[in-house]
């Protein structure tokens, strides 16, 4: 999803036509340089025009740098990131103050080398001059890298939109930042703003669908996902969330069919297998769901995501010992994170092993993710180990960290189970 902007609205990365099919220069007013710099042809022909223009020995150095940037844009619109990087880097060597060369390099490096390299390129761009791409790229990366808050990112994105109100990348980034903060109404407004700029924008329609799902408007979300897939039938994230929407609408047989199709089309991805198993669970075919995870592991090899959801399904089936063994296998693999330890903690709680449950929850927090459920699980272990005051204090921390309010009653039940009726009543009064 990283590279979602088009410098020229509506320009699509289509295959280049043969040079003989249509002259690059079509009127006496055009030159190869004008065709290249206008970026109005399809991406392949833009590159051809730029290559041809760059053979002119009369070019100034600054003009050569500008042509190289345009050629880089032509490459990047075809997802030819290595070629784009080479072109942008050559431009920065010729003219280190060429802002758009640094911006283009940022987008290319995001795909090739990751966030840090891209961040440095956008930072360099902004050290020369403010630009919409520099502000948008840096804001997006900095918030993903945890360098700035979403509020700070929004300030930068609003600054970019002050320069160009139609810069759709910034509008979408605003929307996603609100979405991440669970501010779904504001996210929906921004996604709609993006669609006002470009009604067929895939990411904005997908984002609006995700937002509507979060607002409980699942039928509307499904309509948006289906609409996206008419234009982009292989858009993987939309294919996955269409299945999730179908399950939420209790259209589980249809969700199962789409899941099986997803496995056929993307056999190396985990999502098809996970969605198939979840669809089978929703159809009360628990044995088949468990068997599906076994097939997934055989097809993909040891896989952390598959093992996580396999363990989760074993919990539903009451096979706690096996679930614990499966999540431990997942924790031994690269890619294990705080959520795996949280699931292990939950399994241990269900087994009544409060020492193991607390150890797993503390390890989850040690990854650096302050998840409220980790604090909640620790609170339960403390109460059941006799430290009621410590448990109540930890529960306060869980609530402060974002634990859903419906857990108050559940925790009160833990206190009652430990014989702490007064404390349970105090908890209900407090919350």
Instruction: Tell me the C-alpha distance between 276 and 300, whole Å.
Output: 15
The two domains 1-15+24-129 and 250-336 share their CATH topology (first three levels equal): yes
Q: What is the DSSP string of 51-75?
A: HHHTT-TT--HHHHHHHHHHHHHHH
Instruction: Report phi then psi at 31, rounded to 5.
Output: -130, 165
Record: fold of 1-15+24-129: 1.25.40
Instruction: Tell me the C-alpha distance between 345 and 381, whole Å.
Output: 10
pLDDT of 368: 93
Task: Write out the two tokens for 85.
Answer: 């990087």
Task: Write out the two tokens for 285.
Answer: 């075919």
SS3 87: helix
Instruction: Tell me the C-alpha distance between 409 and 406, whole Å.
Output: 6
pLDDT of 428: 84
Q: Print pLDDT tens along the chain (431 aa).
A: 333 333 322 323 333 333 344 555 444 345 888 889 999 888 999 999 999 999 998 999 999 999 999 999 999 999 999 999 999 999 999 999 999 999 999 999 999 999 999 999 999 999 999 999 999 999 999 999 999 999 999 999 999 999 999 999 999 999 999 999 999 999 999 999 999 999 999 999 999 999 999 999 999 999 999 999 999 999 999 999 999 999 999 999 999 999 999 999 999 999 999 999 999 999 999 999 999 999 999 999 999 999 999 999 999 999 999 999 999 999 999 989 999 999 999 999 999 999 999 999 999 999 999 999 999 999 999 999 999 999 999 999 999 999 999 999 999 999 999 899 999 898 888 88
pLDDT of 22: 54
Task: Write out the two tokens for 243.
Answer: 């299945």
Sequence ranges of the domains in the chain: 1-15+24-129, 250-336, 361-431
Task: Write out the two tokens for 420.
Answer: 């702490």
Any idea what the Cα angle at residue 8 is, between residues 241 and 132, rounded to 5°?
Answer: 85
Plot region of 250 (φ>0 → left; ψ -120 to 50 → alpha; else → beta) = left
Closest-CA residue to 276 (of 312, 230, 323, 240) = 240
| CA neighbours closer than 13 Å in the CB half-sphere of residue 337 | 7
- The DSSP secondary-structure symbol of 403 reads -
pLDDT of 429: 87
Q: What is the DSSP string of 231-287?
A: H-TT-HHHHHHHHHHHHHTT-HHHHHHHHHHHHHH-TT-SHHHHHHHHHHHHTT-HH
**DSSP collapsed to 3 states, the chain:** CCCCCCCCCCCCCCCCCCHHHCCCCCCCCCCHHHHHHHCCCCHHHHHHHHHHHCCCCCCCHHHHHHHHHHHHHHHHCCCCHHHHHHHHHHHHHHCCCCHHHHHHHHHHHHHHCCHHHHHHHHHHHHHHCCCHHHHHHHHHHHHHCCCCCHHHHHHHHHHHHHHCCCCHHHHHHHHHHHHHCCCHHHHHHHHHHHHHHCCCCHHHHHHHHHHHHHCCCHHHHHHHHHHHHHHCCCCHHHHHHHHHHHHHCCCHHHHHHHHHHHHHHCCCCCHHHHHHHHHHHHCCCHHHHHHHHHHHHHHHCCCHHHHHHHHHHHHHCCCHHHHHHHHHHHHCCCCCCHHHHHHHHHHHHHHCCHHHHHHHHHHHHHCCCCCHHHHHHHHHHHHHCCCHHHHHHHHHHHHHCCCCCCHHHHHHHHHHHCCCHHHHHHHHHHC
Record: fold of 250-336: 1.25.40
pLDDT of 235: 96
Query: Could you tell me the pTM of the whole model?
Result: 0.83
């Amino acid at each position: 999803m990283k590279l979602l902007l088009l410098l020229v609205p509506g320009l699509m990365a289509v295959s280049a036509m043969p040079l003989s099919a249509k002259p690059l220069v079509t009127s006496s007013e055009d030159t190869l340089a004008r065709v290249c710099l206008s970026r109005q042809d399809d991406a392949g022909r833009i590159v051809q025009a730029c290559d041809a223009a760059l053979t002119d020995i009369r070019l100034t150095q600054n003009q050569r740098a500008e042509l190289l940037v345009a050629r880089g844009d032509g490459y990047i619109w075809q997802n030819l990131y290595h070629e784009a990087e080479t072109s942008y880097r050559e431009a920065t060597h010729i003219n280190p103050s060429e802002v758009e060369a640094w911006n283009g390099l940022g987008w290319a490096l995001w795909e090739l080398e990751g966030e840090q390299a891209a961040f440095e390129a956008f930072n360099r761009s902004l050290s020369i001059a403010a630009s919409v791409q520099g502000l948008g790229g840096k804001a997006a990366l900095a918030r993903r890298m945890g360098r700035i808050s979403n509020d700070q990112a929004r300030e930068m994105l609003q600054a970019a939109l002050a320069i160009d109100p139609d810069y759709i990348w910034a509008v979408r980034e605003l929307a996603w930042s609100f979405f991440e903060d669970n501010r779904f109404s504001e996210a929906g407004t921004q996604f709609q703003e993006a669609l006002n700029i470009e009604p067929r924008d895939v990411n904005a329609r997908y984002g609006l669908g995700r937002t509507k799902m979060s607002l409980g408007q699942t039928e509307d979300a499904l309509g948006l996902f289906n609409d996206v897939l008419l234009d982009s039938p292989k858009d993987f994230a939309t294919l996955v969330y269409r299945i999730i929407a179908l399950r939420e609408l209790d259209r589980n047989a249809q969700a199962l069919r789409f899941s099986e199709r997803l496995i056929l089309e993307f056999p190396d991805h985990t999502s098809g297998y996970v969605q198939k198993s979840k669809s089978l669970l929703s159809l009360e075919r628990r044995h088949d769901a468990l068997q599906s995870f076994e097939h997934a592991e055989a097809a993909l090899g040891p896989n952390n995501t598959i093992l996580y959801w396999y363990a989760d399904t074993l919990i539903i089936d009451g096979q706690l010992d096996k679930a614990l063994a499966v999540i431990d296998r997942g924790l031994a693999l690269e890619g294990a994170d705080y959520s795996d330890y949280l699931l292990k903690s939950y399994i241990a709680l269900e087994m009544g092993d409060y020492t193991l449950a607390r150890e797993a929850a503390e390890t989850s927090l040690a990854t650096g993710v302050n998840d409220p459920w980790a604090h909640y699980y620790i609170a339960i272990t403390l109460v059941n180990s006799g430290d009621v005051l410590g448990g109540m204090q930890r529960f306060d921390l869980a609530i402060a960290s974002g634990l859903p309010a419906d857990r108050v009653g559940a925790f009160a039940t833990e206190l009652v189970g430990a014989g702490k009726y007064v404390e349970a009543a105090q908890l209900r009064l407090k919350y």
